[in-house]
Amino acid sequence: MFQGETAITIDDKGRLAVPTAYRDVVARECGNRLVITYNPFESGSLYLYPLSIWERVRDQVNKLPKAKKVNRNMQLKLVGAAAFVELDGNGRITLPGSHRAAVGIEKKAVLLGMGDKFELWSEQAHHAQIRQTITDDDLSDELLDLQL
């Protein structure tokens, strides 16, 4: 559904313009509503889910046993921090200030279409992530089977 990398500017009110290539899909598939939450696996980025995908993820995460610390941490970062955002008439969403501050997103960011969701990275964190080299030790059997 979503793919590609777009450099994004965040305005003084914490708004970002959703790229025009995605606006029709977000309007049609999501009713102009997205859910924003933390990326629980990597610092420096946020997830933006279409509502239908979010509801599935939320329900799976909430079913995890709460007695395990790792599950509780996942629930806090994904479900506890989730906020609904809606595209305005100009195709912009307002990012909650607490989310921006926690991941270091200021003026410059990078929006990545990751199939069923977006990832919004601070420019610095995205550059650091891209510069990392995948080594042989990182390769799983699934990665080795890919025909890249």
CATH number at residue 39: 3.40.1550.20
* pLDDT score, position 56: 95
The answer as to whether 49 is a domain residue is yes
- β-bridge pairing 33-38 and 2-9: unpaired
- Tell me the whole-structure pTM to 2 decimals: 0.89
The answer as to whether 135 is a domain residue is no
Q: Is the pLDDT of residue 105 over 90?
A: yes
* pLDDT score, position 82: 97
* Domain count along the chain: 1
Ramachandran region of residue 53, left (φ > 0), alpha (ψ -120 to 50) or beta? alpha
* pLDDT score, position 29: 84
* Run of H or E residues at 13: none
Per-residue pLDDT, averaged over 105-117, amounts to 95
HEC-encoded secondary structure of 50-114: EHHHHHHHHHHHHCCCCCCHHHHHHHHHHHHCCEEEECCCCCEEECCHHHHHHHCCCCEEEEEEE
Per-residue pLDDT, averaged over 103-123, amounts to 95
The answer as to whether 123 is a domain residue is yes
Q: Is the pLDDT of residue 140 over 90?
A: no
Tokens linked to 75? 């629930």
The answer as to whether 122 is a domain residue is yes
Domain membership of residue 9 as a residue range: 2-130
Share of the chain above pLDDT 70, in %: 96
71 phi/psi in degrees, rounded to 5: -65, -45
Give me the torsion for CA of 120, 98, 62, 60, rounded to 10°. Answer: -10
pLDDT, tens only, 60-80 = 999 999 999 999 999 999 999
